Amino acid sequence: MTDNQAGWKMDNSYSRLPKIFYSLQKPTTVKAPEVVIFNETLAEELGLDSEALQSDDGAAIFGGNEIPEGGNPLAQAYAGHQFGHFTMLGDGRAVLLGEQITPDGQRFDIQLKGSGRTPYSRGGDGRAGLGPMLREFIISEAMVGLGIPTTRSLAVATTGEEIIRETMQTGAVLTRVAASHLRVGTFQFAANWGDTEDLRALADYAINRHYPELEKEENRYLAFLKNVIRRQAALIAKWQHVGFIHGVMNTDNMTISGETIDYGPCAFMDTYDPATVFSSIDRDGRYAYGNQPYIGGWNLSRFAEALLPLLHKEEDEAVKLAEEALSEFPEIFESEFLSGMRLKLGLFNEEKEDKALIADLLNLMNQHKADYTNTFKALTFGKLNESEMFKTEEFTQWHEKWQGRLGRQEQSKEDVQDLMSDNNPAVIPRNHRVEEAIEAANNGDLNVMVKLLEIMANPYEHSPDQEEFCKPAPPSARPYRTFCGT
């Protein structure tokens, strides 16, 4: 198989940045790479040949033994605040092969995750286990179905080798696809270990790649900051709408493109509770569901700090500009959040009291430990016998207010139900289902995972096939904990 046959059209524009930002690094070769799951839909979008890439030659690329022509593998340098503590990081178990240029001229990073040690490994082995890589594949593709910006998964290949964690695990490499892997932490690295010209080169690169419309702005770096703020506010609001908990919102896991990245200790809420935490390492609840908007603002403040030398030559004025931009985040987030929640409740227009109506419902759900996804599904289709909450006087009073609110808009009941069904997923990748799929795959059966992926591809379909996947976890599966998989 030649690269032309497979459809690879690679470049690595990141390697043309100042050398402080990366270390050239080839993946570590593996014993016997084998593709275990492949994303044909994504491959087609990238202009790749699915059949060719599901061969031994494709496995050699996805395992790291071969590099597509035009690729220039490197490990990216970045820093980050991890649970509030600043440190030097970098790709400790990943290499960026380069960017695939699609038939319509777009660029997408192709990164191998679990591809061996790099100069940034900090004592780790640079490897990954099959379970965590399949988890990222499942959740990232579920996010696509839910309409949430995300990095994606092209393939998972086993390596023919085992890795040592708490137990021996099957080694695996994930091929991750992203608009880019530029992070808030990349800019923190530039601000702390580079000079102003390094920082400028990185900012110019990010603007050219993700915000080319800003090139002619009078203060394009300020416009850049504001646009990243806007994208992140919109992204986090979408997480809240579906009950997604990232679990590790460190600054190195916040992208400049506005995509969700890093599916380590993430999970979706069953029972609604703003204090929900799944990550085994988040002992203080820093990244709990209800804290995600606040942490988003905190992370963006760190981004603004890194950009200060570019915002204005006078530091006081730069700080003032940054503070003014950051002050907009809460308002943008609330607007995005309320807009999405209105859609979930079938509201086509805006009224001042909508915020209270939404808050009252969420408070009821929290008080009665209602299932987040299934509550909105029940409201969509009028099936108000599926939860104890619906039998309470407080809910009856809320329901009357909601019906009155619906009655003050022009749209029909059918229009309302259509809007709600388009914005309330029937299914999310429930934690017990994800674990079930991973366990089966670890035992050599990928059918469970394939079925889950099929169900999650169209979460707003509300089909009979999805009913079994709507059920919350049994009591034996709680409390649920996730691990970072490193």
CA distance 421 to 203: 40
**What Å distances lie between residue 131 and 174, 189, 278, 437, CA to CA?**
11, 31, 17, 9
What are the contacts of 187-190 at 24+ separation with CB within 8 A? 187/256, 187/303, 187/306, 187/307, 188/78, 188/79, 188/80, 188/81, 188/86, 188/251, 188/302, 188/303, 188/306, 189/21, 189/77, 189/78, 189/79, 189/88, 189/89, 189/90, 190/20, 190/21, 190/306
Instruction: Report the SS3 class of residue 361.
Output: helix
CB proximity list for 16: less than 8 A, separation 6 or greater: none
Q: Is the CB of residue 37 less than 8 Å from the CB of residue 156?
A: yes
Exposed e or buried b for every residue in 330-368, given b needs 16+ CB within 10 A? eebbeebbbebbbbbbbbeeeeeebeebbebbbebbbeb
What is the C-alpha to C-alpha distance for residues 400 and 393, in angstroms, rounded to an integer? Answer: 11
**CA–CA separation, 275 vs 294, rounded Å?**
13
Q: Let me know: does 270 contact 372? Beta carbons within 8 Å.
A: yes
What single-letter amino acid sits at 311? L
What's the gap between Cα 77 and its chain centre?
20
Q: Which of 413, 281, 284, 290 is CA-nearest to residue 346?
A: 413
**Using CA atoms, how far apart are residues 317 and 312, in angstroms rounded to an integer?**
6
Instruction: Specify the amino acid at residue 212.
Output: P
The two structure tokens encoding residue 414: 């059918």
Residues 52 and 222 sit within 8 Å (Cβ to Cβ): no
- Element of type H or E holding 456: helix 447-456
Q: Which residues are catalytic?
A: 252
- Tell me if 156 sits within 8 A of 174, measured CB to CB: yes
- Alpha-carbon torsion angle 322, 323, 327, 330, nearest 10: 70
User: Which is nearest to 8 in space by CA: 57, 76, 56?
Assistant: 57
Q: Among 55, 255, 248, 5, which Cα is nearest to 155's?
A: 55
